[in-house]
Structure 1
């Protein structure tokens, strides 16, 4: 079992609307999608963004796209017009989520060609 950063085994797409951030996390294979289901829970996402997401984190599973969609409420300090944050756009949340570390079976990493040392 290896600990890797999500950036080594995923892609993301993000956006924001008002005070809500949407993060879609995509897996490269069905086996890694199952790992994401196990490892990337709403509780872990909220803990990862401690101090940034004040509301609930809802996870939607999209198995036909091998994706998880996270809706993070009260995440932008009031929203684009009301926040004093320098860069409060949702797209920054995707890059930040990819810093989260998860545990992945070694065989799965070999399936996708392994990961670099900087991603472990």
Structure 2
């Protein structure tokens, strides 16, 4: 099965307690596959969080997606006791997101 890393590069950052993940598809074909298969619901399930915590924003100028996962950083940089309060390593987790085959039309 294909994973997100096969089609895109991921960068991570934070805004308070929200994890921000930018997904940069390698080409137009990859963008189309990710548009269909990298959904808010799949990302939420992959991170084991409530689907309402995940928002996907399409960035049309740079042809990318930004996922905002609210409340997943355990309080953020100043409030978290975890080693990775910025969530930088979580970009690797998103890169392992399985992308099932396209649904027949």
Specify if TM > 0.5: yes
Deviation at 1:89, TM superposition (A): 2.1
Number of matched residues?
102
User: Are positions 1:76 and 2:73 aligned together?
Assistant: yes
**Judging changes above 3 Å, is the alpha-carbon distance between structure 1 residues 90 and 55 closer, same or farther for their aligned structure 2 residues?**
farther
Question: As a proportion of its length, which structure holds more helix?
Answer: 1
TM-score, normalised on structure 2?
0.84
Instruction: Please say if residues 12 and 19 of structure 2, whose CA atoms lie closer than 8 Å, have aligned partners that are also in contact.
Output: yes
TM-score, normalised on structure 1?
0.75
Instruction: Please say if residues 54 and 75 of structure 1, whose CA atoms lie closer than 8 Å, have aligned partners that are also in contact.
Output: no
Dislocated runs of 4+, deviation >6 Å:
none
- Matched with 1:65 is 62
Instruction: Please say if residues 10 and 23 of structure 2, whose CA atoms lie closer than 8 Å, have aligned partners that are also in contact.
Output: yes
Instruction: Report the RMSD for the aligned CA atoms in angstroms.
Output: 2.0
- Matched with 1:24 is 22
Distance 1:72 1:10 in 2: 19
Distance 2:81 2:51 in 1: 15
Structure 1 unaligned residues grouped into runs of 5+ = 106-120
Structure 2 unaligned residues grouped into runs of 5+ = none
